[in-house]
């Protein structure tokens, strides 16, 4: 574990780093040689509607070959195109991975406490995995799956690592909005406050506690929890809660590492962290050995 920077005292709503320009102007995927891209729309039983995801995979796959799958979760004010448009993750598909970038809207990828129809966690962990494994040459089983997210996507990956450890062998969280269940009323961000309340329930409620990684980590079993790769920019307002979470991981002997790099809450920081993140990921996926 590496962390040498002091705590920051100011927390902020983590919606930076994404772009809301119309799709026609921003949907410019960074595709590298030897990689194919496919956009998929499928019916989610959990959400009872059509949902979209984007896939990068090797252009040439041997007959009968099965590849490990990495699910990439976007952040707030983003969509399923964001990873492909603002990072070079296609390079890792060229190395033998299937990269799946699902639409998560502004759901934090959770089943909403106050809106039962919004079952985004069930969509992500059941419907999406089933569709990917039926449609693509995906190796099945926990040992062949990883998940990485930034900002609210990073929150979701950590929460799933603690509550659904049977799903993934490796979990990456870049600049995770890990403290969101603990955020109260904010008059400057009323729409986001309402969204958080709908998803997590009233402040201090049991529904919030059941979705709070800083609570879940106290009882989660380190022996079965996926390997956790955590990062943050040294000027990111979310550094402090991530350091607090890492301290609990250390105290309870989880398998993890925590890294800080210069910068704030944006793609410059996340892109700088991806090479090492994927290097560690390859060591934890069976089919990538």
pLDDT at 287: 56
Q: How many Cα atoms occupy the beta-carbon half-sphere of 89 within 13 Å?
A: 33
pTM across the whole model:
0.91
Six token digits for residue 77: 């004010």
Over residues 242-246, the mean pLDDT reads: 96
Cβ–Cβ under 8 Å, residues 171 and 158? yes
Q: How many CB atoms within 10 Å of residue 71? A: 27
pLDDT at 18: 60
147-172 residue pLDDT tens:
999 999 999 999 999 999 999 999 99
Tell me the chain's radius of gyration from C-alpha atoms. 18
Q: Which residues share a beta bridge with 35? A: 58
**pLDDT of residue 1 exceeding 80:** no
82-138 residue pLDDT tens:
999 999 999 999 999 999 999 999 999 999 999 999 999 999 999 999 999 999 999
Q: How far apart are CA 225 and CA 169, in angstroms?
A: 8
Set out the domains of the chain in order of their start, with CATH numbers. 44-288 (3.40.50.1820)
26-35 residue pLDDT tens:
689 999 999 9
Cβ–Cβ under 8 Å, residues 265 and 10? no
Sign of CA dihedral 98, 99, 103, 106: positive
Q: Nearest CA to 119 among 131, 105, 133? A: 105
Contacts of 92 by beta carbon, 8 Å cutoff, 6+ apart: 70, 99, 278
165-207 residue pLDDT tens:
999 999 999 999 999 999 876 777 788 889 999 999 999 999 9
């Amino acid at each position: 574990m590496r962390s040498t920077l002091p705590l920051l005292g100011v927390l902020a709503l983590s919606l930076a780093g994404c772009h809301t320009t119309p799709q026609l102007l921003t949907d410019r995927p960074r595709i590298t040689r030897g990689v194919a891209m496919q956009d998929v729309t499928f019916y989610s039983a959990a959400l009872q509607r059509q949902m979209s995801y984007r896939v990068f995979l090797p252009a040439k796959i041997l007959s009968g070959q099965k590849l490990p799958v990495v699910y990439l979760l976007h952040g707030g004010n983003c969509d399923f195109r964001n990873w492909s448009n603002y990072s070079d993750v296609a390079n890792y598909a060229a190395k033998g991975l299937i990269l799946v970038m699902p639409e998560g809207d502004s759901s934090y990828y959770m089943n909403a406490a106050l809106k039962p129809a919004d079952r985004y966690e069930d969509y992500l962990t059941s419907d999406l995995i089933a569709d990917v494994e039926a449609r693509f040459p995906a190796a099945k089983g926990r040992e062949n799956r990883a998940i990485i997210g930034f900002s609210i996507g990073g929150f979701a990956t950590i929460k799933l690592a603690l509550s659904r450890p049977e799903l993934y062998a490796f979990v990456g969280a870049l600049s995770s909005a890990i403290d969101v269940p603990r955020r109260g009323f904010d008059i400057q961000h009323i729409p986001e406050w309402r969204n958080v309340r709908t998803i997590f329930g009233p402040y201090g409620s049991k529904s919030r506690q059941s979705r709070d990684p800083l609570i879940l980590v106290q009882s989660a079993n380190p022996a079965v929890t996926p390997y956790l790769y955590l990062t943050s920019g040294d000027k990111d307002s979310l550094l402090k809660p991530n350091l607090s979470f890492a301290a609990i991981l250390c105290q309870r002997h989880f398998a993890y590492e925590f890294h800080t790099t210069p910068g704030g809450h944006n793609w410059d920081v996340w892109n700088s962290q991806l090479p090492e993140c994927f290097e560690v990921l390859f060591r934890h996926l069976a089919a990538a050995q």
